[in-house]
Structure 1
Amino acid sequence: MIRLRSLRHKLLGVIALVMLPAVLVSIGTIVVYDLHIYEQTITDDMTTQAELVGHMSAPALSFDDDRLAHENLALLRLRPKVEAGAIYNARGRLVARYAAQGEQGEQGGVPPAPGPQGFHIEDGKLYLFRPIVDNNEVLGTVYLRADYEVLARFLDYVVIGIVAALLALLCAWLVTRRLNDVITRPILSIAHVARDVIATGDVSRRAERLGEDEVAELAGSFNKMLADIEIRKRELETSNREIARESERRREAQQEVMRLNQELEQRVHERTLQLEMANRELAMAMEEAKSANQAKSAFLSSMSHELRTPLNAILGFAQILTSDKLPSTLAQKKEFAQHILKSGRHLLTLINEILDLAKIESGAVALSMEPVALPDMLQECEAMMAPLATARGIRLLFPERCTTNVTADRTRLKQVLLNLLSNAIKYNREGGAVVIDCTPSGAGLMRVSVQDTGMGLRPEQVRMLFQPFNRLGQEAGVEEGTGIGLVVTKRLVELMGGTIGVTSSPGVGSMFWIELKTTEPVPVPPVQAMTPPAPGVSAPARDSITLLYVEDNPANLKLVQEIIRFRPELRLLSAPDGQLGLELARAHLPDVVLLDINLPGMSGFDVLRQLRAEPRTAGIPAIALTANAMPRDVERGIAAGFFRYLIKPINIDEFTEAINSTIDMIGSPGNPGSDDRDGAGGESDHGDTTGKRQAQLLAEKKEES
């Protein structure tokens, strides 16, 4: 062993000998544990991947669909560690295989027949065979081969151990430098004083006493030995002590100045950091404002284009229909009217989706969170999407077993699922498939996924997906749509406490999924049978029903007149303002009053209050027919006493149903308007009926909104 010459070097050697074994033992323990965890992790991951591929390929094996099996197996390209994979049917025939880029051989590294079930490790590779089971029936086998990187990880840890050892030596050297003043300095101080006394004969020198250990006692004994000689040189010793005290004061003053300088530098550094942070925050705020302004401009530009497109068809065909210079046949007129109707409905859908997005962004959406049964919801969605899928030649594959209940707003959840299914069908290829699945994704969570076999999306398209008017990366005009459905879907899922995501591969397809919290179903009370009316009692027949429509817009009045014209039992009276409407109501006592809200002079609410204030008109049911379509407007109208609240543009079926239900109500025995419109009991009866109807309509409007 090399003989160390100084205390400092000896101290460094001792610390290094203590630290290196501890470092090596710690690193060895970590390496063994990590390699064990790595082996367990990769086997679990490969088993999970094999189960997923087997689950997705079960329909393909059941129907001998090799193409679907190839497409499902192609998803392994998303797992770079998987080098090869294959699917065999129950007879051991190779149905589909997959080989990563760079794999050689005729079979791409895939065995021609399945091997024994389970996994084994050989030549740095992990091989796995797992059966495909559906309804307790073995349909085939999944084979996967992945790279087993244990040796590479071990070499990495060797490098890490060398680096850690070097760092330990560096730390030992730094600790030695720090301990120099504590351990070696007192001893070296005594040696230095002794050498000086021997060399110069100056017995006034004293060894510095640092601490209370053995070295300090040695320094004290050395000083006492010098004190015997110091008596003979007292005057010189006193002078030396004065000089030493002055030097000490100067040293303390210098240390105070250095301390103040360090504090000043620290304050300057902190202020500099604060200024830099403020500048960065300001730059980020400016960048966000710039991005928001650009997004706003892009949104307005896209919205202008989307609004003008259906308006172009509406106004263009309307000009042809009203032009004398462009004659058209009856068949052409019907065709033009169909185009106008289709464009109008598309425009209404666009406006509704923009209003939905605006309500969500402003926090004005009210959700009714309750347990929702996924089987019933998926069955309803399948019934609604089946015609569209059939028209496009798309197969819909819904899960056979899904008995979970989730916490959500039923109407909004249906809106989310229908939008995802519609997109999966719309952006699919002809003859493709849409696979819907629901699987647990964690403690108390359920994932519902919608996977298509379309063209897929590039990564940059996925990043821009949940933005207004982004049609899944499609060019404008290729597929009809507003482009903000996914934005509304994402906001609704987040409002219901869930999450939404997407994975996509170009040329393979996309999979959209949502995750919601699971819950227990609410017990449903038994339905009680309604008591049938007394025999022999029937509603009195009415030969003529009088309607009073108060509307200041001639076009809207003309539309209602055309609708009523096809029903000879209805007689329509009209008034352009509220005052004339009240006079006609008092003079003719109509059976039903249709009221616009925004009337000149007095509003529809004022007209309704005056109708209710007079005994002769208090029992006449009133229907609101207005363009005020916000939920708070609907709630206000129902609370004010309207029997029904209809929103423009008029839906003829809904309008007819409202008229029929009102006529049925006024024709029922005991209801206002049947016999005693100006009797004393008319108002109270109407209040009771209207109160029940208000509660029903509020529930319907909340569901629709």
Structure 2
Amino acid sequence: MIRLRSLRNKLLAVIALVMLPTVLVSIGTIVVYDLHIYEQTITDDMTTQAELIGHMSAPALTFDDDRLAHENLALLRLRPKVDAGAIYNAQGRLVAQYSAAGEQGGAPAAPGPEGFRIEDGKLYLFKRILDNGEVLGTVYLRADYEVLARFLDYILIGFVAGLLALACAWLVSRKLNDVITRPILSIAHVAREVVATGDVSRRAERLGEDEVAELAGSFNKMLADIEGRKRELETSNREIARESERRREAQQEVMRLNQELEQRVHERTLQLEMVNRDLGMAMEEAKSANQAKSAFLSSMSHELRTPLNAILGFAQILTSDKLPSTLAQKKEFAQHILKSGRHLLTLINEILDLAKIESGAVALSMEPVALPEMLQECEAMMVPLATGRGIRLLFPERCTMNVTADRTRLKQVLLNLLSNAIKYNREGGAVVIDCAPSGPGLLRVSVQDTGVGLRPEQVRMLFQPFNRLGQEAGVEEGSGIGLVVTKRLVELMGGTIGVTSSPGVGSMFWVELKTTEPVPVPPVHVTTPLVPGVPAPARDSVTLLYVEDNPANLKLVQEIIRFRPELRLLSAPDGQLGLELARAHLPDVILLDINLPGMTGFDVLRQLRTDPRTAAIPAIALTANAMPRDVERGIAAGFFRYLIKPINIDEFTEAINSALRNLGNTGDAGKTGNIGAIGNNDERPAPLLAEKKEES
């Protein structure tokens, strides 16, 4: 180990490390320069050869002389490094090719991009043949690229040169050994003995008068100084040790006190964090509960007032002496009232069901229920509804298993899922019902439709109150809480409910319940007649614009306006179309529903006010959002009036008259000239409805 670390070996290593990199850098520089010159030479040579062949072959390509092109390529046999060549015409057709003896692989079928490329030790060149700026064809050459062989030769030369450099370094180090290393090694020997024994009284031998001899003298003087200071340090160290012991004891006491203080602070901090966390959670729960309560009340108010609007509105028409109507019209109005009343009854029943479920007042009678009979009853009740929509119902042929459930509530769950599958299906679609085991002691009943499907964000919000599946379509009525009731009933029966949906394909709702032993139950056949709805005719208007997505509400306003021949109504089912009609026709007054598909009534009002053409048109909110904060928000947003459904015809009349008088006061005579009967000279608003003229 000492010999490996000797100064002699280090001197040899220094000499070798100086000579060897010098030799390698010199050889490397020569190699790089030579390879660069070689590459430049071969590329220039190949380019010159390609230009020469191209120039010689230009007449052959011009006159389609393939023989002359072959003769020109045959001259490549005088270039031993070129082992293949070809000539292509301007259309890329191979005219002539050449291959050296013993070479495999001819020319490519079509010319490549102009330029060089190197692959597998070969240099490939494509050169365009030009004549007066016109491309006549392409010359292709392939030659040996001997850069790798030349590089390997240089590596061998560098290896031999390195060995010679190491041999020279070894010879030089032997000559310098006695002159440089022996005096230094003598000093090193004394130093090792001092380190090993601790005897600083030893001295190194002084050889000569050079720098190494001065080093030996300095080393001896250093040993003498160390010997004196060692005695002083031994005395001082004893004093320092005693002082250090006292400080160590004091530091340990301080550390103990700090640890106790940190522990107390940590405990108090944890207690404070727990209190703050509990307080924050309580505040968040209270805030969430308050928001949920407000949202539920607002949604419930809107959903209840929507059908009430049609009921009370058409009822006012039927009971008003100022609005005579024919027998057919009375029947149509009554059908609207009946339809809205049934919808309101369903909504109230579902709200009551949800309230009873949430309060724990629902009593279930759990018993074995035979699925075949249950599905047969549901099929009999749903067939008329599906037939009216042209939808096929496909029930399972074999489903013999029984489940543990409340018979009435299970039937309610299945009918709700089937009703939704039919309601939100496409015309001529299908509903597939299936049942199959989903695990030990579990049975899954699935209802799959071919409707528009649901997006992932819709699926996440699906089982929340007043979240209607067909809300965006604006054509399907529903309370939006049926699925909430369904989910709670399934969970009360010890089951689970889920949904998978693909937009544009359809949705599948499934219910999992516990199975039980078969119990014979007599089948019950129920039929429910389907009552088709009465379509509401659409009317146009050039004076009033009503943006409303509910057909019954639109029909009500149409009937109110119809009895005044000088008033005409323009309607739009969504906000975007309403904006387009407002900008195109510039109506006198705009009636806006708030809950519109796509954009809300507030969004429509905001865009109307930013457009100079429609900024001055008074907009009246006609909505079922009746909460006080909704009214305040509507007035603050800039609505001229905020009317709450169900419509009060007198308030409706007064609001329109006030809006038209306001237009007249601002000097918009052109707007109000066609509606002179609306604005009277006295302070009382003129009745909006006049006696209907007899038809000729």
**TM-score class, shorter:** 0.3 to 0.5
Instruction: Mark the structure with the bigger radius of gyration.
Output: 2
Q: Please give the TM-score of this superposition, normalised by the length of structure 2.
A: 0.39
Report 1 or 2 for greater relative contact order, CA contacts < 8 Å, sequence distance ≥ 6.
Answer: 2
Q: Please give the TM-score of this superposition, normalised by the length of structure 1.
A: 0.39
